[in-house]
C-alpha cells in the first residue's frame, strides 16, 4: 500500500485557511520525493463541508476524510482530537501535518499525545532524510538556532508549520473523493458539557491579510509615535500592501498583535519588505527573512536588521517615511 502524507485542513468561518493550501503544496512535493506512489490526503472537520472538501481536492488531496456535523462547527480539542487520532490510527499515514495556528498549535500535539507519537512544533521547513523519514526544522531561542527533529520509530511523524512558511502553489486538481467519518461512536463526546465552545469571534480583516500582501511596511519601536504609525499605515495602503509590526511596536499600543511578524507572530514573504525603526532581533528576522527584497531604515548603523537587508538606509525613520510617503503620493498623481 502506498504511503500517505496527511494534512489537517483548518477552517476559519467555514472557509479553508490559507495555511492548509500551503501545507498541501508542500505535502505534494514531499510525496513526490518519497516516491512509490505516495499520496496526499486531508482531514477536515466542521459542518457543511461539501464545498470546502472540493477545494482540498483542487489542491491535490487524493482523499478527504470529513467529519461533518453541526456540533463540530466550532473547534474543540475535546471533539476534534479523538476523531483525528482515530482516523490516523485506522489509516496509518506516514506523515501528518497541521497548521501552527491558534487552534492547530493545540490540536496537533493533542492528537500526537493520543497517538503517543512525536510532533515537531512550529517548523520552518519539512524535508525527508536519506531513509525517507520526515526531518522537520524547528527554531528555538527565538529563531537563533534551528534544530532538526526526527520521529524515527513512530507513525505518523507529525509536525506543525506556521502560516506563511510554505508557498501555496497553483491548484493540482485531484478528483474529489470524500470519505465521511461515521460519527455515531462519538455521540457522547459531541454532547459532553465539560468544555463547550460558545463562539468564535473574528475581526473583519482590515485591509489585506499580512501573509498575502506583496508589499509589507513594517515598523518597530523606532517609529516613535502613533502619528508616525498612522503614516506608516497610510504608506502601506497607498502601495496596496499591509502594515506590520515588531513586538515592541505592539507593546507601545500603536497597532494590534495580529500585525506582529516574527516567531511569536506571523511569517511573511512579500516581494518587498520595508522596515522602519526595527533593530532586528532574531525573533523578528525569522518571520521576514524570506521576503524578496528587504529595505531597512534605522538610525543606528549597527542595527542587526541591516545584516539581512538588501538596501540599507541609515537615517531617521520618520524623516524617510515622510519622504517616501510624499514620493509615492507624487507618483500617484
Q: Which residues in 26-65 contact another protein (CB under 8 A)? A: none
Q: Name residues contacting another protein, limited to 1-30 (CB under 8 A).
A: 12
Say whether residue 118 binds another protein (CB under 8 A): yes
Pair 26, 20: CB distance under 8 Å: no
Say whether residue 301 binds another protein (CB under 8 A): yes
Of 28 and 112, which has the nearer Cβ to another protein? 112
Of 141 and 180, which has the nearer Cβ to another protein? 141
Strands (E), 57-156: 63-68, 95-99, 119-123, 125-128, 134-140, 145-150
- What cell does 163 get? 502560516
Of 42 and 81, which has the nearer Cβ to another protein? 81
Q: How far is the CB of 37 from another protein (least distance, A)?
A: 26
Q: What are φ and ψ of residue 156, in 5° steps?
A: -70, 155
Q: Which of 75, 98, 166, 254 binds another protein (CB under 8 A)?
A: 75
The CA distance from 260 to 23, in Å, is 22
Q: How far is the CB of 115 from another protein (least distance, A)?
A: 9
Q: Name residues contacting another protein, limited to 159-188 (CB under 8 A).
A: 163
- What cell does 317 get? 525613520
Say whether residue 103 binds another protein (CB under 8 A): yes
The CA distance from 27 to 246, in Å, is 31
The CA distance from 37 to 162, in Å, is 27
- What cell does 95 get? 506523515
Q: Which of 50, 145, 173, 187 binds another protein (CB under 8 A)?
A: 145
Residue located via cell numbers 500517505: 4
Of 116 and 184, which has the nearer Cβ to another protein? 116
324 by DSSP, 3-state: which? helix
Q: Name residues contacting another protein, limited to 78-97 (CB under 8 A).
A: 78, 81
Of 1 and 201, which has the nearer Cβ to another protein? 201
Q: Which of 153, 182, 184, 253 binds another protein (CB under 8 A)?
A: 153
Say whether residue 331 binds another protein (CB under 8 A): yes
Burial of 142 from C-beta contacts in 10 A (0-12 / 13-18 / 19+): middle
288 by DSSP, 3-state: which? helix
Say whether residue 323 binds another protein (CB under 8 A): yes
Other CB atoms within 10 Å distance of the CB of residue 293: 13
The CA distance from 168 to 166, in Å, is 6
The CA distance from 258 to 52, in Å, is 25
Say whether residue 197 binds another protein (CB under 8 A): yes
Part of the chain binding another protein (CB under 8 A), chosen from 38-46, 56-64, 173-181, 315-323: 315-323
Q: Name residues contacting another protein, limited to 201-230 (CB under 8 A).
A: 201-203, 205, 214-215
Pair 211, 267: CB distance under 8 Å: yes
Q: Which of 16, 40, 42, 121 binds another protein (CB under 8 A)?
A: 121
The CA distance from 164 to 288, in Å, is 10
Say whether residue 314 binds another protein (CB under 8 A): yes
Under rule CB under 8 A, how many of the chain's residues touch another protein? Answer: 106
Say whether residue 241 binds another protein (CB under 8 A): yes
Of 176 and 299, which has the nearer Cβ to another protein? 299
Q: Which of 3, 58, 74, 169 binds another protein (CB under 8 A)?
A: 74
Amino acid at each position: 500500500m502506498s504511503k500517505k502524507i496527511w494534512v489537517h485542513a483548518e477552517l476559519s468561518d467555514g472557509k479553508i485557511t490559507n495555511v492548509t493550501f500551503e501545507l498541501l503544496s508542500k505535502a505534494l512535493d514531499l510525496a513526490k520525493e518519497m516516491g512509490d506512489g505516495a499520496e496526499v490526503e486531508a482531514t477536515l472537520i466542521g459542518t457543511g463541508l461539501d464545498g470546502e472538501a472540493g477545494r482540498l481536492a483542487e489542491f491535490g488531496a487524493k482523499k478527504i476524510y470529513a467529519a461533518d456535523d453541526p456540533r463540530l462547527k466550532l473547534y474543540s480539542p475535546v471533539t476534534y482530537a479523538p476523531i483525528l487520532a482515530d482516523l490516523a490510527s485506522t489509516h496509518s499515514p506516514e506523515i501528518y501535518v497541521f497548521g501552527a495556528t491558534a487552534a492547530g498549535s493545540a490540536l496537533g500535539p493533542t492528537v500526537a499525545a493520543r497517538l503517543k507519537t512525536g510532533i515537531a512544533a512550529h517548523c520552518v521547513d519539512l524535508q525527508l532524510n536519506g531513509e525517507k523519514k520526515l526531518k522537520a526544522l524547528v527554531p528555538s531561542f527565538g529563531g537563533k538556532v534551528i534544530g532538526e527533529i526526527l520521529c524515527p520509530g513512530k507513525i505518523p511523524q507529525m509536525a506543525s508549520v506556521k502560516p506563511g512558511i510554505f508557498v501555496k502553489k497553483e491548484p493540482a486538481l485531484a478528483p474529489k473523493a470524500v470519505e465521511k467519518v461515521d460519527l455515531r461512536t462519538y455521540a457522547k463526546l459531541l454532547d459532553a458539557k465539560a468544555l463547550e465552545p460558545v463562539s468564535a469571534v473574528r475581526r473583519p480583516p482590515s485591509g489585506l491579510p499580512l501573509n498575502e500582501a506583496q508589499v509589507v511596511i513594517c515598523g518597530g519601536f523606532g517609529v516613535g509615535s502613533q502619528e508616525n504609525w498612522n503614516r506608516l499605515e497610510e504608506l502601506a495602503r497607498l502601495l496596496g500592501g499591509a502594515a506590520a509590526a515588531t513586538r515592541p511596536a505592539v507593546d507601545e499600543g500603536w497597532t494590534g498583535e495580529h500585525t506582529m511578524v516574527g516567531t511569536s507572530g506571523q511569517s511573511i514573504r512579500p516581494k518587498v519588505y520595508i522596515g522602519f525603526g526595527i533593530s532586528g532581533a532574531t525573533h523578528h528576522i525569522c518571520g521576514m527573512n524570506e521576503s524578496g527584497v528587504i529595505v531597512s531604515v534605522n538610525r543606528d548603523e549597527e542595527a542587526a536588521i541591516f545584516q539581512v537587508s538588501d538596501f540599507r538606509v541609515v537615517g531617521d525613520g520618520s524623516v524617510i517615511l515622510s519622504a517616501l510617503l510624499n514620493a509615492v503620493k507624487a507618483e500617484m498623481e
